Amino acid sequence: MMRDTAWLSKKVHDSPYTSYYIEDTDELTVTLLREMAKLFPQCERSNQEDSSLQFKLVEIEALGKEGFEILHMDGKIIVQANTTNGLLYGMFQLHQDLVTKNELKPVFRSVPDQAVRMLNHWDNFDGSVERGYAGDSLFYDNNQFRKNYDTIREYARLLKAIGINALTINNVNVHKEETFFITQPYLSEVKAIAEIFKEYGLTLYLSINFAAPISVGGLTTADPLDEDVNKFWADAANEIYAEIPYFGGFVVKADSEGEPGPFVYDRNHDDGANMLARALQPHGGIVIWRCFVYNHLQDWRDRSIDRARAAYDNFMPLDGNFDDNVILQIKNGPIDFQVREPVSPLFGGLTKTNHVLEFQVAQEYTGQQKHVCYLMPMWKDVLDFDTKHHKENATVKELLPKNSPNIQRSGISAVVNVGIDNNWTGHKLAQVNLYGYGKLIWNNAITSEEVLDQWLDLTFDLTPKGKEILTEIIATSYQTYENYTAPLGIGFMVRPNHHYGPDIDGYEYDRWGTYHFADRNGIGVNRTLKDGTGYARQYADARFEEYENIETCPDDIVLFFHHLPYTHVLHSGKTVVQHIYDTHFEGYEKVEEYVKVWEQLKDEVDEASYNNVRERLAEQKRCALEWRDQINTYFYRKSGIADEHKRQIYG
């Protein structure tokens, strides 16, 4: 079945470019030719160097290995880059410009802002996807490789078109069978997939199990300082690279949520990461080591432990200890992909270690692709966040490359939101998050509005009115989601385990360390240095002072830093409890509106998309109502304070 790859199913038919010229260079030329035939069916290859469309290899230092230029002069278009890989990016950009009827500039130069632009699949060999909301895995089914190479190729081109250059294909929680992916016969299957991504210039990595020396190698230990363990990994790397010489390396979740790691042997993360790095180093491989390390067996009675502190406390003291081919991967916030969190203090903190930021495109905590929730505004906030470590140029997007000793080993990674569903993302509108993620990490300056506008033009054929309606739904969806869920940066309040729908005290007395501490007087976590957990001190001075002080702490994360009475007046002029009531009524009303206006799009979008979104909006409405009423009732019961506007709150 033809996959619904919206932005790549449009062809350029009516352009004046009927012939193009390109020299044969390397294997990526084959891909470029194939894509030209698909996307520009009326444009034929010619051997005339002065064709109306030309792809040229040049030597322009500023373009680097991946950048490109599109020149539009005298009725001709020249796409130029230093590499065929760069030409391929340029070709996809040109296709996009022409199908969306973008006016071409005389000179358009595009060079990626971030070197590593990666996606992580949390796919399991049994076909399930951890936190997957778009059907089963693209790669596996029932402990077998699907071998659906056409679909995988379709996926590879989609990722290339949005600017991604690397990916992992298995879950960071590496289960029993997947632990053996680094050995035969699995390796040949991995290779078959890696080859397809390579056709599009994407590098494949595997998530590995730190305890593989025991389970695969038959050793009694996985101690990173043990000689046999080192030999096991060196041998494993040799075997992998013999099969897949262009293999990227390993992604590692260690000492996290029950996964094995160096702590088991009284070693530290630098010991573990460097050991793997040394095994991969002779082959040019890289270790991407996740900083999502915290105590998940916390005693809720012990108020001295704060999960938010963990990543910084664990990794900051190790800054500078890691080998050149190690990259630390840091979640955008200190807790776990909540709809609103402060930015992790490791950004700007680390200055001597290569690192990448980790986003979650998969909507684990943001409506599980049943709710529409446009994540671009949140990602923009994170990348534009001024860490205040320096007077100038201290935003996260600037510091990622600047604070990584090897710029080529810095960038952005994310948990992907795709599965085997025909529209890739389950919810059709969730495609915009995948598209936007790719576009944003290539060009950090692109705005949420630009991305949305492009995606709508690439995906649907809308009337101006239709486009306005859909723009409004998607553009407001993030704020709407935040409005009807956990308030003021407090996070969680979701049902345990699956994390869908409201359960305000679901994690309150649990071991996972995500609490809100609501009592009859107030709510919030005191993370101040003065008399709280001290988390606020992990930031640069200016940020620390801002967050430490209730007078200056921003409203939207105020409950992350302070325990406040319900009667506390926010900067908005509302009390905490009135803010909770108001946002929850507003949030739900907005969803009611989405449901209504969506109907007006019946004749404008294809039937499959229309029904897909309609059904999901109905579920979003049901769930948002549940959120609204449970949250409002909960805080009404706790505080005893009535709604100023006397709306219905259940007792």
Where do contacts with ligand GCW occur on this chain (CB under 6 A)?
Answer: 122, 130-131, 172-173, 253, 256-257, 292, 336-337, 364
**Which residue, 23 or 257, has its beta carbon nearer to ligand GCW?**
257
**Smallest separation (angstroms) from ligand GCW to the CB of 358:** 8
**Smallest separation (angstroms) from ligand GCW to the CB of 346:** 15
Catalytic residue among 257, 468, 541, 615: 257
**Smallest separation (angstroms) from ligand GCW to the CB of 119:** 14
Q: Show the tokens assigned to 177.
A: 């069978």
Catalytic residue among 136, 336, 457, 482: 336
Scored b (16 or more CB within 10 A) or e, 250-282 reads bbbbbbbeebbbbeebebbbbbbbbbbbbbbbe
**Which residue, 99 or 328, has its beta carbon nearer to ligand GCW?**
328
**Which residue, 442 or 507, has its beta carbon nearer to ligand GCW?**
507
CA dihedral of residues 87, 93, 98, 100 (deg, nearest 10): 170
**Cβ atoms 400, 412 nearer than 8 A:** yes
Q: Show the tokens assigned to 606.
A: 């294809």
**Smallest separation (angstroms) from ligand GCW to the CB of 423:** 23
> Rounded to an integer, what distance in angstroms lies between the CA atom of residue 57 and that of residue 60?
9
Q: At what angle do helices 27-39 and 84-99 cross, to 10 degrees?
A: 10
**Smallest separation (angstroms) from ligand GCW to the CB of 173:** 5
**Which residue, 332 or 632, has its beta carbon nearer to ligand GCW?**
332
**Which residue, 481 or 634, has its beta carbon nearer to ligand GCW?**
481
**Which residue, 363 or 533, has its beta carbon nearer to ligand GCW?**
363
CB atoms under 10 Å from CB of 230, counted, come to 17
**Which residue, 173 or 203, has its beta carbon nearer to ligand GCW?**
173
**Which residue, 350 or 414, has its beta carbon nearer to ligand GCW?**
414
**Which residue, 132 or 224, has its beta carbon nearer to ligand GCW?**
132
Q: Show the tokens assigned to 168.
A: 């992992």
Return all residues near 504 (Cβ < 8 A) that are at least 6 apart.
Answer: 493, 516, 518, 630, 631, 634
> Rounded to an integer, what distance in angstroms lies between the CA atom of residue 201 and that of residue 218?
36
Catalytic residue among 136, 364, 398, 482: 364
> Rounded to an integer, what distance in angstroms lies between the CA atom of residue 218 and that of residue 391?
54
**Smallest separation (angstroms) from ligand GCW to the CB of 497:** 9
**Which residue, 336 or 556, has its beta carbon nearer to ligand GCW?**
336
> Rounded to an integer, what distance in angstroms lies between the CA atom of residue 384 and that of residue 409?
20
E-strand stretches of 224-272: 249-252
The strands making up 19-22's β-sheet, listed across from edge to edge, are 44-45, 19-22, 53-57, 76-81, 68-73, 107-110
> Rounded to an integer, what distance in angstroms lies between the CA atom of residue 362 and that of residue 330?
16
> Rounded to an integer, what distance in angstroms lies between the CA atom of residue 508 and that of residue 499?
14
Measured at CB, which residue is nearest to ligand GCW? 336
* Residue 257 falls in the annotated catalytic set: yes
The residue to which tokens 């001075």 are assigned: 541
Sign of CA dihedral 578, 579, 582, 588: negative
**Cβ atoms 425, 369 nearer than 8 A:** yes
* Residue 177 falls in the annotated catalytic set: no
CB atoms under 10 Å from CB of 484, counted, come to 29
**Smallest separation (angstroms) from ligand GCW to the CB of 172:** 5
**Smallest separation (angstroms) from ligand GCW to the CB of 485:** 16
**Smallest separation (angstroms) from ligand GCW to the CB of 411:** 18
Phi, psi of 109 (to 5 degrees): -110, 135
Q: Is 268 left (phi over 0), alpha (psi -120 to 50) or beta?
A: beta
Q: Show the tokens assigned to 163.
A: 């600017």
> Rounded to an integer, what distance in angstroms lies between the CA atom of residue 633 and that of residue 650?
5
Beta partners for residue 330, in sequence order: 357
Residue 329 amino acid letter: Q
DSSP state of 524: -
Q: At what angle do helices 464-484 and 607-639 cross, to 10 degrees?
A: 30
DSSP state of 642: P
Q: Show the tokens assigned to 476.
A: 């407001």
**Smallest separation (angstroms) from ligand GCW to the CB of 256:** 6
CB atoms under 10 Å from CB of 449, counted, come to 12
* Residue 69 falls in the annotated catalytic set: no
**Which residue, 22 or 330, has its beta carbon nearer to ligand GCW?**
330
**Which residue, 362 or 613, has its beta carbon nearer to ligand GCW?**
362
**Smallest separation (angstroms) from ligand GCW to the CB of 414:** 11
**Smallest separation (angstroms) from ligand GCW to the CB of 307:** 12
Scored b (16 or more CB within 10 A) or e, 374-384 reads bbbbbbbbbbe
Q: Is 249 exposed, middle or buried (0-12, 13-18, 19+ CB in 10 A)?
A: buried
Phi, psi of 515 (to 5 degrees): -115, 160
Active site residues: 257, 336, 364
